[in-house]
Structure 1
Amino acid sequence: MLRYVTTNAGKVREAEEYLSDGSVSQLDFDYTEIQAPTLEPIAARGAREAYRHAGEPVLVDDAGLFVDGLDGFPGPYTAYAEETLGIERVSALARDVADPEPARAAFQCVLAYCDGDPFDASPDPIDRGDRSAAAAVDEEDSDADLPVKLFEGVVRGRLVEPRGDAGFGYDPVFEHEGTTFAEMGPAKKNAVSHRGRALGKFAEWYAQR
């Protein structure tokens, strides 16, 4: 059984669309979220810690909104910015900086998988022997000997005034090809979203695991 480490049941339902029925279940585990300038080390550290806790294969995701005109902010601090500033304020800041150009941004998701066993190296996804995973190891990580495989998904778009009633988080202010995530139905959003793209890569690899 693959345990998806999240408090959001919607993420598990999204994962089930890419994996075989009954092969994934939710694990509510509060792993340590380190501070880092990129998502990879945060997800990798979380996957190692969650695997030690669960003792079975785990999948951890970390996602962020990277705004071109704000030098990538909020990035790894996306959730904090939502809690403190709110999504409308973040969108307004991005649009003010970009004016009169569109407030271009990208959603990125990094999935980190750990099952305690080694992986064969490949260009993408990334394993412990590659550059991105090497950056995911820090001196305080007592589980750094555990291999972690990383899968990235990115979707580009722009920030706009809120539109739509579906989704969560920044969905109402993130527009992709003329439609905000909050205006899309779940199936359409999952097909183009950063998490969906990362899950597609993971599912293809995991089927051969």
Structure 2
Amino acid sequence: MSEIVFITGNQNKLKEVQMLLAPCEGEPAPFTLTNKALDLMEVQDASLEAISLAKCKQALNVLGKGTAVFVEDTALSFDEFNGMPGAYIKWFLKSMGLEKLVKILEPFENKGAAAVTTITYADSNGKMYSFQGITKGRIVPSRGPTTFGWDSIFEPLESMGKTYAEMEKKDKNLISHRGKAFKKFKHFLYEQ
């Protein structure tokens, strides 16, 4: 059984990804998922694909040839701001907090947003593949637990009025940007 390394030190993210990549009941997993926390340089680019690709290449350089590895990058794009903060959401959130993120959209009618996850995977031969998932929604005042990034301010259009934070994990995974990207990635991994 081969090993695939997920580059993350975030245990919440690891648990979610383990759920998303788990085999169907009764099926054996064709790989073992492990994780490694690496401090990778974040390329400054508006393109999530470019950032993810650069990080995966760095991880491959650190871990060495022959290692199957993937990185996952997430963006939150505000329609009113032509996609910003996008890939910079992590830094906006860290600097401003949830309340101020919501407040910057206050003067505008358009609260539309898109949550985007891009996964870049390097197989054991170093060949790169990308998978992306997008969920449309809107930015709302914080509701639900605030323990997982900006989940409490993002209300997906298909969530029946709940923020990600208010949803059960299994329900969130069915409609989330991360769930959609990992569904594509899982299909790729299991069809090999």
User: What's the counterpart of residue 107 of structure 1?
Assistant: 115
- Please identify, of 164-173 and 190-199, the stretch whose mean Cα deviation from structure 2 is larger: 164-173
Equivalence for 1:126: none
Q: Does the alignment pair 1:175 with 2:178?
A: no
Shift of 1:113: 0.1
Aligned to 2:22: 19
Alignment length, in residue pairs? 178
* Distance in 1 between residues matched to 2:4 and 2:57, nearest whole Å: 14
Q: Counterpart of 2:70? A: 59
Give a deviation string over 1:146-195, Cα, whole Å, max 9, x none: 53211000111000111112651111111123110110121111221111
Contact 1:3–1:27 (CA under 8 A) maintained in structure 2: yes
Unpaired segments of 5 or more residues in structure 2?
24-28
Structure 1 stretches of at least 4 aligned residues deviating more than 3 Å after TM superposition: 19-22
Which residues of structure 1 form unaligned runs of 5+? 118-145
The SS at the match of 1:33 is coil
Counting only pairs closer than 5 Å after superposition, residues 64-83 of structure 1 correspond to structure 2 as: 64-83=75-94
Q: Give 1:116 deviation, angstroms.
A: 4.7
1:30 aligns with 2:39: yes
Q: Given residue 28 of structure 1, which amino acid in structure 2 is its aligned partner?
A: A
Match of 1:150 among 130, 150, 168: 130
Q: Counterpart of 1:207?
A: 190
TM-score, normalized by length of structure 2? 0.86
Percent identity, aligned pairs only? 30
Deviation of the 1:207 alpha carbon: 1.1
Which one-letter code corresponds to 1:168 in the other structure? F
> Within 2, Cα distance between the matches of 1:148 and 1:35?
20
TM-score by length of 1: 0.80
**Map of 1:94 onto structure 2:** 105
**2:169 maps to amino acid:** P
Q: Contact 1:51–1:115 (CA<8 Å) still a contact in 2?
A: no
